[in-house]
Chain A
Amino acid sequence: MANILVFAETNNEKVKPVAYEILGKLNGHSVDVACIGNMDSDSSAMLAKHGAENIHKISGSGLEKYSPEGYSNSLKSLIDSKSYDYVFTGATSMGKDFFPRLAGAFNSGCASDVVNFVFEGDDFSGTKPMFAGKALTKVSFSDAKPRFVTIRPNALGMPDNENAKGGAVADANAEAGNIRAAIKEIIKGASEKVDLTEANIIVSGGRAMKNAENFKILDELADVIGATVGASRAAVDSGYAPHSMQVGQTGKTVAPSLYIACGISGAIQHLAGMRTSKVIVAINTDPDAPIFTKADYGIVGDLFKVVPILKEEFKALLS
């Protein structure tokens, strides 16, 4: 049985779901959770239900805002005091940013963007995509402890069963230490929706969208089904969408439950970035487009005619 800490990232005091996904796979180990700042009672109850023994709510001067150094330093002191064998978090923008620094502070290794894992006794063995998912590899650790792992959101899925533990919430004071790179200001993105990398449903447009204006029809479909809108590299390079929306090897690797590809031919570097989606729907006028080889449901048709009807059909289903 390993002694494990899960760092739960919060957004407006709500724990991001990837923490529950991680807890669901750690049944049988001794698991604590840490967050920085506040967490609402629904979140702490949910963490307890899925196996959190203790929940450390860390606060201290300099920790009001995220910083890679502050978050790394404050978690380091908690990990030192509890001698954890493993420390997990989600491979989110934040997790990917500060976990390598934290692992480095222990001269330890970090397995990043892991999509599945098992423990044999106390030994972790994970599956990690490389080349944007064109290959999978087994990732394991050499001797140094603690060992750090970031888990791709949506990859493990929500736990099926409960594993209720105490989930005692305790405040912990920590030092942010010397913060040399500090956030002065946050400029909100145009999209209020969850990021592509954490989205449960994605509607994506390709070169066939023809211009930026036309993405409006994808936005309308996305609004009906609670999706985030993405784009192919061809669409981004043509200036139809910003790079933050790009799915693929030089954009974001995504793993939603449902991926709807509209007017995307399916270049190898795009397929690499979305092939682990649970269900793929493709709409394309070219019956030989490579995207159809990965699609669970392929529709050979004109997206400008199909998408509006798709929207109405979803609306009827969900009302």
Chain B
Amino acid sequence: MNIFVCVKQVPDTETKVQPTGDGSFIETSSIKWIMNPYDEFAVEQALVVKAANPDSTVTVVRVGGVKGTEALRTAMAMGADDSFLVDAPDHLDSYMTAKALKGAIEKSGKNPDLIFCGKQAIDTDALQVPQLLGQMLDIPSVSVAVGFEQSGNALTIKREIDGGTIEVYEVNTPALIACNKGLNTPRYASLPGIMKAKKKPLTTLSLADVGVSDADQKVKYTDFQLPPEKPPGKKYEAMEDGAIGGVVKEVVGLLRTEAKVI
């Protein structure tokens, strides 16, 4: 099987976000970049499928800044075979990103049987690229996957929706699966894996190479800013048992009379 995984590098979840002076993006100089957490589930699932299907390859594709190719090296250290990087700004809109991923997959010369993505990137939070890529490649997609079973070219995918309810999909390959936490437990890269990954092929492409231009931009993001700070609230001391009753009574009263939410 030709298996592809799409990954993104995002700021670590503990990052304190600071918009740039002109509001065009956020300050990136001191950010610690990590593989998008949901993409780790995608890499792991691809490796599980590869292990179950002899003669499979796992190709990792990323669109983003050239500096720092850790996400691709990490994926290859985990066991992926080769990778493609499309050199582009870190915050392209979803349409350009999906089109660039499609272009890179086509450049690989392999027809995808399975594509795995994370369900969303935790920086732009657009939740669009997997479904868009599926649409552009004219293959079905299932998002927010928490279960994966394969029997030949038939897949059974569990998709998590509201309140933990599960929709069970039946779909044949080729297909795209967008992975959620709970699907599997991503492996750690082994030391030999890390050494081997250094020698695995990483091909860099430009946006022009994959047929993407500024004319493909559909959505513009401008004026990055911090959310407004709330004025400080009220704080009550209730460590002593005797104080709890009075404090709770007052807070519940204020929730009705002042905040008007109950």
**A238 CB-CB contact with B under 8 Å:** no
In the complex, chain A residues whose CB is within 8 Å of the CB of B166:
186-187, 189
**Chain-A contact segment, one of B53-61, B63-71, B80-88, B126-134:** B126-134
Given contacts A103-B132, A104-B132, A140-B222, contact A134 B167 (CB under 8 A): no
**B74 CB-CB contact with A under 8 Å:** no
In this complex, what residue of A is CB-closest to B251?
A297
In the complex, chain A residues whose CB is within 8 Å of the CB of B193:
none
Shortest Cβ distance from B41 into chain A, in angstroms?
11
Bound together, the chains give a CA A287 to CA B236 distance in angstroms of 10
A176-211 interface with B by 8 A CB criterion: 180-195, 197-198, 201
Given contacts A141-B220, A182-B171, A188-B165, contact A135 B226 (CB under 8 A): yes
Given contacts A101-B141, A110-B94, A181-B142, contact A250 B163 (CB under 8 A): no
Bound together, the chains give a CA A297 to CA B262 distance in angstroms of 14
A194 touches B182 (CB 8 A): no
B162 touches A195 (CB 8 A): yes
A300 touches B236 (CB 8 A): yes
Bound together, the chains give a CA A94 to CA B144 distance in angstroms of 11
Given contacts A97-B131, A258-B261, contact A302 B239 (CB under 8 A): yes
A-B contact pairs, 10 of them (CB 8 A): A104-B95, A110-B94, A112-B94, A131-B123, A136-B224, A138-B222, A142-B220, A300-B235, A300-B239, A309-B244
In this complex, what residue of B is CB-closest to A233?
B13
In this complex, what residue of A is CB-closest to B124?
A130
In the complex, chain A residues whose CB is within 8 Å of the CB of B143:
68, 96-97
B 137-170 to A, binary, CB cutoff 8 A, 1 in contact else 0: 0011111100000000000111011111111111
B 158-194 to A, binary, CB cutoff 8 A, 1 in contact else 0: 1011111111111110010000111000000000000
**B109 CB-CB contact with A under 8 Å:** no
**Chain-A contact segment, one of B1-9, B15-23, B44-52, B196-204:** B15-23
In the complex, chain B residues whose CB is within 8 Å of the CB of A157:
none
In the complex, chain B residues whose CB is within 8 Å of the CB of A113:
125-127
Bound together, the chains give a CA A250 to CA B251 distance in angstroms of 31
Bound together, the chains give a CA A298 to CA B226 distance in angstroms of 23
**A105 CB-CB contact with B under 8 Å:** yes
In the complex, chain B residues whose CB is within 8 Å of the CB of A302:
239
Bound together, the chains give a CA A293 to CA B230 distance in angstroms of 9
A111 touches B227 (CB 8 A): no
**B136 CB-CB contact with A under 8 Å:** yes
B 12-38 to A, binary, CB cutoff 8 A, 1 in contact else 0: 011111010000001000000000011
Bound together, the chains give a CA A133 to CA B249 distance in angstroms of 32
B244 touches A105 (CB 8 A): no
**A61 CB-CB contact with B under 8 Å:** no
Shortest Cβ distance from A137 into chain B, in angstroms?
5
Given contacts A184-B169, A186-B167, A243-B181, contact A94 B217 (CB under 8 A): no
**Of B222, B238, B255, which is within 8 A of A137 by CB?**
B222
Given contacts A296-B230, A298-B233, A309-B248, contact A135 B163 (CB under 8 A): no
B234 touches A296 (CB 8 A): yes
Q: Which of B130, B160, B170, B255 has the most CB of A within 10 A?
A: B255
Bound together, the chains give a CA A135 to CA B182 distance in angstroms of 27
A284-319 interface with B by 8 A CB criterion: 285, 287, 292-302, 305-306, 309-310, 313-314, 317-318
B255 touches A279 (CB 8 A): yes
**A108 CB-CB contact with B under 8 Å:** yes
Could you say which interface size class chain B belongs to?
A: 35 or more
**A78 CB-CB contact with B under 8 Å:** no
A183 touches B262 (CB 8 A): no
**A37 CB-CB contact with B under 8 Å:** no
B135 touches A101 (CB 8 A): yes
A195 touches B94 (CB 8 A): no
A305 touches B162 (CB 8 A): no
Bound together, the chains give a CA A197 to CA B224 distance in angstroms of 24
In the complex, chain A residues whose CB is within 8 Å of the CB of B141:
68, 101, 181
B220 touches A139 (CB 8 A): yes
Shortest Cβ distance from B42 into chain A, in angstroms?
14
In this complex, what residue of B is CB-closest to A248?
B13
**A170 CB-CB contact with B under 8 Å:** no
In this complex, what residue of B is CB-closest to A296?
B233
List 8 tightest A-B contacts by C-beta distance, closest first: A109-B218, A189-B164, A301-B238, A195-B162, A104-B135, A244-B164, A180-B140, A181-B140
A317 touches B262 (CB 8 A): yes
Bound together, the chains give a CA A61 to CA B37 distance in angstroms of 39
**A63 CB-CB contact with B under 8 Å:** no
A137 touches B224 (CB 8 A): yes
A314 touches B262 (CB 8 A): yes
Bound together, the chains give a CA A128 to CA B247 distance in angstroms of 37
Shortest Cβ distance from B45 into chain A, in angstroms?
16
Shortest Cβ distance from A296 into chain B, in angstroms?
4
**B205 CB-CB contact with A under 8 Å:** no
B219 touches A140 (CB 8 A): yes
Shortest Cβ distance from A98 into chain B, in angstroms?
7
**A100 CB-CB contact with B under 8 Å:** yes
